[in-house]
């Protein structure tokens, strides 16, 4: 017995979903089905020719030709009432007429994760702000690992845009992030009271990595006037090599830094498996 029910002979449900998803003139819903067994709604979306003619090479901006369709993909979208909803598509790939580069077109519903739409990610982030990740995962019937990945991707994107140009006082400490000898070194802005950077390890090379990171955020080593840290020889060496102008204050129990560092660890971002 066929458990897949096609919705609507007049195409009205497709038109309704097309409007709700804001697909515009470049995409069409070619299939809409409700699986009674799984209780899941699936939308199949295909591009229209207008989308292809607008595509330009990301490297040189030149015109492109259609190349082929990429692999079958599926994104989880917001529920339809209480039913899980998925978008399925094979996104078109284009080839530059000038340089031959092959690239995949972007779909308007894509989030930062491979498996979720942007709308689903927004809703997940809202939930994770209000409750523990595990609870949020239960609420929306996802695994907490997948939600952590959504969070990590959005944190990484937001982090890239941070400006450290006003940072002058830095606190640094190492923390064991798991049982054994896995350490993470945390750098914090003691005035703004925020974490600037964290990096695996606890030797002097962590300072080189920190200084490289500063440069990605409109800052430089020369602006660091004060460093608070414990008596670690490797940190002393790191500061001497990278920020020799900074005044060093030895303060093993800097409460503000500890608090910030634990926030990072509680975030669990270092525990994430590769996506
Ligand atoms: Zn090109």
- The predicted complex's ipTM stands at 0.98
Q: Which residues of the chain have pLDDT under 50?
A: 1, 7-10, 268-275
The predicted pLDDT at position 221 comes to 97
Cα(107) to ligand 1 centroid in Å equals 20
Q: How much of the chain is helix, strand and coil, in % rounded to 5? A: 35, 30, 35
Cα(62) to ligand 1 centroid in Å equals 6
The token pair that represents 94 in the structure block: 């284009």
Cα(63) to ligand 1 centroid in Å equals 8
Q: Which residues surround ligand 1, an ion (CB under 5 A)?
A: 57, 59-60, 96, 98-99, 101
Cα(248) to ligand 1 centroid in Å equals 51
> Measured between alpha carbons, how far is 6 from 103 in angstroms, rounded to an integer?
34
The predicted pLDDT at position 274 comes to 39
The predicted pLDDT at position 275 comes to 37
Give 4's strand partners: 35
Burial (CB count <10 Å: 0-12, 13-18, 19+), residue 41: buried
Cα(22) to ligand 1 centroid in Å equals 29
Q: What are phi and psi of 66, to 5 degrees?
A: -65, 135
The predicted pLDDT at position 231 comes to 83
Cα(12) to ligand 1 centroid in Å equals 40
CATH 3.20.20.60 fits 169-271, yes or no: no
Cα(104) to ligand 1 centroid in Å equals 13
What residue segments make up the domains of the chain, in order of their start? 4-110, 117-161, 169-271
> Measured between alpha carbons, how far is 134 from 243 in angstroms, rounded to an integer?
41
The predicted pLDDT at position 265 comes to 55
């Amino acid at each position: 017995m066929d458990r897949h029910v096609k919705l609507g002979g007049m195409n009205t449900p497709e038109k309704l979903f097309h409007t709700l998803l804001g697909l515009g003139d470049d995409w069409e819903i070619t299939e809409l089905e409700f699986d009674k067994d799984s209780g899941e709604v699936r939308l199949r979306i295909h591009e229209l020719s207008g989308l292809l003619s607008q595509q330009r090479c990301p490297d040189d901006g030149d015109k492109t030709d259609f190349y082929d369709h990429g692999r079958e993909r599926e994104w989880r979208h917001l529920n339809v009432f209480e039913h899980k909803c998925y978008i399925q598509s094979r996104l078109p790939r284009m080839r530059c007429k000038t340089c031959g580069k092959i690239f995949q077109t972007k779909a308007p519903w894509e989030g930062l994760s491979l498996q979720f739409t942007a709308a689903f990610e927004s809703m997940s982030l809202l939930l994770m702000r209000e409750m523990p990740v595990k609870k949020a995962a239960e609420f929306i019937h996802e695994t907490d690992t997948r939600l952590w990945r959504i969070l990590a991707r959005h944190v990484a994107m937001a982090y890239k845009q941070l400006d450290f140009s006003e940072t002058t006082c830095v606190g640094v400490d190492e923390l064991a992030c798991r049982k054994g000898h896995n350490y993470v070194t945390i750098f914090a802005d003691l005035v703004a009271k925020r974490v600037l950077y964290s990096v695996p390890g606890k030797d002097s090379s962590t300072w080189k990595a920190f200084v490289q990171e500063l440069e990605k955020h409109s800052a430089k080593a020369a602006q660091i006037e004060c460093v608070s840290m414990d008596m670690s020889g490797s940190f002393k060496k790191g500061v001497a090599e990278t920020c020799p102008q900074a005044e060093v204050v030895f303060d093993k129990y800097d409460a503000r830094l500890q608090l910030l560092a634990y926030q990072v660890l509680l975030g669990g971002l270092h525990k994430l498996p590769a996506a």
